[in-house]
Chains A and B, each alone.
Chain A
Amino acid sequence: MGLSFLVPAFLAGLVALGIPVLIHLTRRERTAVVEFPSLMFLQKLPYETIHRRRIRHWLLLVLRCVALALVVAAFARPFLDRPTAAAMGRGGREVVILLDRSYSMGYGDRWDRAREAAYRVIDGLGPRDRATLVLFDASAEAVTPATPDRGRLRAAVEAAEVGPGITRYGPALRLARSLLEASGVAEREVVLITDFQRVGWESEDPVRLPPGARLLPVPVADASAGNVAVTSVSFRRETFSGRERVTVSARLANKGGEAVRGVRVALELNGRELRAERVDLEPNGSAAVSFAPFTLSEPGTRGVVRVGEDALTADNAFHFVLSPGVALPVLVLEAGTGSAGRYLDRALAIGGEPGFQVTTRRAGQFRPAELEGRAVVILNDAPFPGGEGRRRLREFVEGGGGLIIVLGERSGGSDALGGLVGAAVGRPAEAWRGRRSAALVSVDYGHPIFEPFQAPRAGDFTSARFFRYRPVTVRQEGARVLARFDDGSPALIEQRVGRGRVLVWASTLDTDWNDLPLQPVFLPFVHQLVRHAAGYEPPRAWHTVGEALDLGGKGELGAGAAGWVAVSPSGERIRLGEGERAALALEEPGFYEIRSLAGGERGQTVAVNVDLAESDLASFDPSELVAAVGSDGGVPPQPGVLEARLTPEERERNQALWWYLLAAAFVLLAVETLVSNRLRRAG
């Protein structure tokens, strides 16, 4: 172990050591001047034998000299040059190199520095050492087995690239732990080369390394990193002259400590720049930009919002896909021409995203052919169709359609559910035990229908009064009660039938039996009922890297197709297997083009964006992580062991010996002052 200096030129300052000697001689010895006829004889004496002044207080002199030497050494920026384990002739080590490849590593030259650090670690391996290269972002992957082959390790580092993922230290550390635990080597190290983003660590459970293992952090973060990102995009749709116009608003965030002026934000549609704006961003501030509206006519329109260039380019583009709005085709069957469907019709007429295309028929006029193209059928206080209609309705439901049975006065008795739901319907009942009304209690807010009402003040079902309802007795396990009246009788029941689902509402959707239609929750409740029955999922304008796209649910592509082929943003063709369900892992930001191998149908475009949590480049102290992953045996990791593979600047910065030297110098000077004063008084 040797001592090296970052700025050895400062050591020339050691000449200053003569200063305390001079001070000592000139200050401590105050002597009178004696006039003498001639110095002829004195000058003849050999110089070294002329003791011009006696140094009486050696302690003072030593204190002053040492203090000055410490100051000089501190300015020369010393650091300890520890030899590697191999150089020290010890046994082999098991080294796991964790190399961060999250997209924040693409900031400036971080990735180059990270790879250089990895090369240094590899070059520092002894002949008996083995290393494993693990690339990680949100997940970790060992790209090489444990090997002493430096060439292979270097090639793996060379081949590694920055990905679109986000930083998560937990998986990487867990993988490193398992690799170390599998190793029989006593000396084990984990080298973590990363930018130490705080977002990657805060939410992680601490991972402990095996006893004796050491974590050696190699930070490559920049001292100050500014970044502008597009954090979200929202759309406002309007219908104008029968055509849909969309206003795109983008939200920008400045994650740096310096203001950004006049940054250019552009909206592209299908690869063509449509609008551009300029915006100012305050330090750590955000701003919204709304572009002028445009007419949306083509489904699967690709849109990109781009913000000006900065050192981190991955989050400068936000991709999305827009399609014209759709309307769920709904068939409402009613018993008669009464007012039973008034509230329901009004409610469904107000649908936005999606809208509802409502067709109302009298139950008696129901023709099975009308089921074609419908998403939901509502039996609104109407008897269950019989004969062919019943069979087709069952097939409709089993094929994925939705059926909502609203029980009322005119609903059939025991046949009201058509045998689709394992429950029995009783006669209409008055409110329980002579009270004027019953209330809806015991609502399953975890269910998708009621989920929007879960938040406080999001909707109050208890204020609705139910005067009459049909008691339903659930007999099969498949039927799930989603809400109950205060007497325990089910109010809403869901039963999955085949690929579709049946919802049973035990009271009416008009004001005959309850005043729910007069409550604010009525409209969203009905919308939720229909959406859920239709199995409607709003089309997502974008996905995030790391998500898996469930292709089985893509009706547009055809369920159970012969298979799919996806073209990634980088042009890679991904063949997905046949079967009912297949999933596509979205690994790149940009647009995926997915087509069914069955052919004929138009493909679907999926927009994918990076996870914007990564765009916050704030870093944390590596020692925090080192302390958190300290080995179970209580032996804390020794950050200094790897320093031999760091650059001298990094080693010096990590060790910060200059600070200790300066502190020691000040202490010595204080002691010197005390001793000096005491000696002066004594003398």
Chain B
Amino acid sequence: MERKAAGGEVAGANFIDPRALARIGDLELVARTVVEGFINGLHRSPYLGLSLDFAEHRPYMPGDDLRRIDWRLWARTDRLYVKQFEAETNTNFVAILDVSRSMSFGSQGLTKLDYARFLVATLAYFSRSQRDRVGLITFDADIVEEVPPSAKHLEMVLHTLARARASGAGALAVPLRKLAERFRRRSILAVVSDFYHEPEEVVEAVRWLRYRGNDIIVFHVLDPAELEFPYEGGTSFEDLETGLRLPVMASELRERYRALVREHTERLSRLFAEERIDYVLLDTARPLDHALFDYLSSRERLSRVR
């Protein structure tokens, strides 16, 4: 099965339908299945070594650090080359997962929280396999659960994920501001939410996490129904978080709604870009591999020191 990724087609990748994953009860198995399937499908892996592994030589350019010149190669070739290494990536990976009630929505048998759970598990698994320390924080209007980043916390992360339930109203500013003060080390933070807030508020809240130089990747998880608004005729919509009901003629509103959602996501994307924060919009109908790919692309960009 091939799906188009947000950043383009990933050739040769065999993606797994999230609904198929949902039938796998074990999160670790899910994560492994996803990661391995993903890696096997890649033609090229820029992530083969994560320590001080040699990566490549490139011609010396004026201004390069003299200490990184490969003298042996100069001796053999009488040309100056600079050795390039993969950066030291033994960092913290912390998934910040929104478990507010709106995440319980799912129009196709898979809720957003399920999808996010797979995503975080996969990322955690993948990160652990990269020897990163993994942690997890769930929040709704406040912090719900917290698994501090540690090399040994993958199982706890997965367990916490499996236990997570969507409940309560969601908020970003309070929990994220609290979180910002907890990260002692520079970390990679994956914020997973449906972001039902004004884009400016979202960016303002997420910006707090950049304290101490954390790298942030934002996963915006939305159900296809939230994107496409496929409802017909008169429908009464009840807000999952507030209980407010609004009877509308859905078919007549569809285009306006889509335009609003599109404007919302585009605005988020733009604002995050301005803040140099990676923003990935995930449709829960899309395979997780896409998300992983996006993540890894971003991870590569963040961690590579050139």
Contact = CB atoms under 8 A, between A and B. Distances in A.
A36 B102 CA distance: 8
Given A32-B235, A50-B253, A53-B234, A39 B244 contact: yes
Given A34-B231, A44-B260, A45-B256, A39 B237 contact: yes
Contacts of B105: 35-37
A31 interface: yes
A32 B257 contact: no
A267 B240 CA distance: 95
Interface string A33-77: 111111111111100011111100000000000000000000000
Contacts of A35: 105, 237-238, 240
A273 interface: no
Interface of B: 102-103, 105, 112, 194, 196-197, 223, 226, 231, 233-242, 244-249, 252-253, 256-257, 260-261, 264
Contact of A31 (B112, B233, B241): B233
A655 B248 CA distance: 47
Contact of A53 (B237, B249, B264): B249
A42 B257 contact: yes
Among A35, A37, A40, A44: residue with most chain B CB under 10 A: A37
B257 A41 contact: yes
B252 A51 contact: yes
Contacts of A36: 105, 226, 237-240
A421 B230 CA distance: 129
B292 to A, nearest CB: 24
A29 B249 CA distance: 11
B102 A38 contact: yes
B102 A53 contact: no
B272 to A, nearest CB: 19
A42 B249 contact: no
A31 B246 CA distance: 12
A647 to B, nearest CB: 51
A292 to B, nearest CB: 91
Nearest to A39: B239
A51 B249 contact: yes
A54 B233 CA distance: 8
Contact of B256 (A33, A49, A54): A49
A50 B250 CA distance: 9
Name the 10 nearest CB pairs between A and B, nearest first.
A37-B102, A51-B249, A38-B196, A37-B105, A36-B237, A41-B260, A52-B247, A31-B234, A39-B239, A33-B236
17 contacts: A31-B233, A31-B235, A31-B247, A32-B235, A33-B236, A36-B105, A36-B238, A37-B105, A37-B194, A37-B196, A40-B197, A42-B237, A42-B257, A45-B257, A49-B253, A53-B234, A54-B249
Contacts of A42: 237, 246, 248, 253, 257
Contacts of B236: 31-34
Contact of B234 (A37, A38, A49, A52): A52
Tell me if A's interface is mostly helix, strand, loop or mixed.
loop
A614 B239 CA distance: 81
B104 to A, nearest CB: 8
Contacts of A50: 246, 248-249, 253
A37 B226 contact: yes
B247 A53 contact: yes
Contacts of B244: 39
Given A37-B105, A52-B249, 20 more contacts: A29-B234, A31-B234, A31-B236, A31-B247, A33-B236, A34-B231, A36-B105, A36-B226, A37-B240, A38-B241, A39-B237, A41-B257, A42-B257, A45-B253, A45-B257, A45-B260, A50-B249, A51-B253, A52-B246, A54-B252
Contacts of A40: 196-197
Nearest to A26: B247
B284 to A, nearest CB: 12
A43 B105 CA distance: 19
Interface in A369-391: none
Contacts of B252: 51, 54
B253 A34 contact: no
B5 to A, nearest CB: 24
Among A29, A38, A44: residue with most chain B CB under 10 A: A38
Given A35-B105, A41-B264, A52 B240 contact: no
A598 to B, nearest CB: 108
A52 B256 CA distance: 14
A49 B248 CA distance: 10
A52 B261 CA distance: 20
Nearest to B239: A39
Contacts of B241: 37-38
A34 B197 CA distance: 21
A33 B194 CA distance: 21
Nearest to A52: B247
Contacts of B197: 40
Contacts of A37: 102-103, 105, 112, 194, 196, 223, 226, 239-241
Nearest to B264: A41
Interface in A1-51: 29, 31-45, 49-51
Nearest to A28: B234
B246 A39 contact: yes
A43 B194 CA distance: 17
A667 to B, nearest CB: 31
A40 B195 CA distance: 11
Contacts of B223: 37
A53 B233 CA distance: 8
B160 to A, nearest CB: 22
Contacts of B249: 50-54
A446 to B, nearest CB: 95
Contacts of A49: 253, 256
Contacts of A34: 231, 235-238
A513 B44 CA distance: 171
A42 to B, nearest CB: 5
A45 B240 CA distance: 19
